[in-house]
Amino acid sequence: MKLIITKTILRSTLILSLSILTNSCTNTKKNTPAKEQTNIKYPSDVIPFMDKWKILLGDGEYSDELIKFDKKDFFYVANDEKTDWVVYKTPNSGITSKTSSNTRTELGQKKHWIPETGGKLTGTLKVQHVSTSGDARVAASYSVVVGQIHSDEGHENEPIKIFYKKFPGHQKGSVFWNYEINTKVDNSKRWDYSTAVWGNDMSVVGPNATTFPEEPKDGIELGEEFSYTINVYKGMMYLTFSSKNHDTVKFTKNLLKSDFSKKSDIPQQIWSLYAAIGRDGIERKNAYAGEIQYFKQGAYNQTNGKNPEDNIVWSTGSETYNGNIAKQYANGCYAEVWFKEATVGAGTNPNE
């Protein structure tokens, strides 16, 4: 009888101990954040300048605290088996800023400056995807902006936007940059002058909605790495573009004195591209002098669902699946850009 009682007590003690141990392990798991368990890297671990930026995501989410911040399907870290990259991904249609029709997962610089004091932005990136739907006649179709300077006053125009654009079926795309004139009064007449880096400028479009122009021979492929530097020093903008398999290309643009202050200064490209939408304005003589500026970097998708008949330059008529982001991602209606290196800071003397 004593033996039976002893076995019963031992069995009860063992069950109680196992129960306590099991509950202890369960509670430990519940109290451990998922990211600590999996050791996921954040964008700020890859490119540490994130404390100098805020971000707007393609679903409309905004954050101005980017240390240890990410968002699945929009802003996160990926590895190509060699390097960690910060991924910026955004659909053709989502929620965007009040001044734009285009979605973005894009950083906005917290610090502002004027051209006279300057600033400098660099980036090393590869574009992984641009929208596969759009209208071939529309200059903005199949493109994404990967870096820019944006004015924070006046008409909020852009002294530079750096684009990557690739037509469906082409192996190579184009890298080009646009300068938007800073009009004095009527901003409805503004336009962008586009300059090719590798491949074509923005004005090369198809003859109809479904026919594409010839593929650029010296273009950049999806997944092909390239770098840019935007250096504004004492009112001059110095641009450098480099890529392993291409010649390094440099440009200089005065941001304090306009090249387009008279009708006779308007380039033929503008008459050809913008004539259909009546944009033939001129720029104020001192261009962006004294205007507050800031940098932006990431994926600013230029392909939207607006009707091309309303604006044959910017309204791309892309498929948007009524704003359903999952369907857009599944059907190629998005832009995706990977950065592995980037810096931001003061402008530097290009001759030193």
Cβ–Cβ under 8 Å, residues 229 and 121: yes
The pLDDT of residue 101 is 81
The pLDDT of residue 99 is 72
* Nearest residue to 165 via CA among 120, 215, 118: 215
The pLDDT of residue 16 is 41
pTM: 0.89
The pLDDT of residue 250 is 98
Order of strands, edge to edge, in the sheet holding 246-254?
A: 75-79, 84-91, 334-345, 119-129, 226-233, 236-243, 246-254
The pLDDT of residue 1 is 40
For residues 238 and 62, what is the distance between their CA atoms, to the nearest angstrom? 31
Tokens of 17: 């101990």
Contacts for 36 with CB less than 8 Å, ≥ 6 apart: none
Cβ–Cβ under 8 Å, residues 147 and 228: yes
Cβ atoms within 10 Å, residue 126:
21
* Nearest residue to 115 via CA among 150, 82, 73: 150
**Sites in the chain below the pLDDT cut of 70:** 1-38
The pLDDT of residue 40 is 85
pLDDT tens digit sequence for 28-70: 333 434 455 468 899 999 999 999 999 999 999 999 999 999 9
The pLDDT of residue 97 is 79
What would the DSSP string read from start to end of 248-282?
EEEEEEESSS-S-SSGGGS-HHHHHHHGGGT----
The pLDDT of residue 310 is 96
The pLDDT of residue 196 is 98
CATH of domain 42-345: 2.60.120.200
The pLDDT of residue 38 is 61
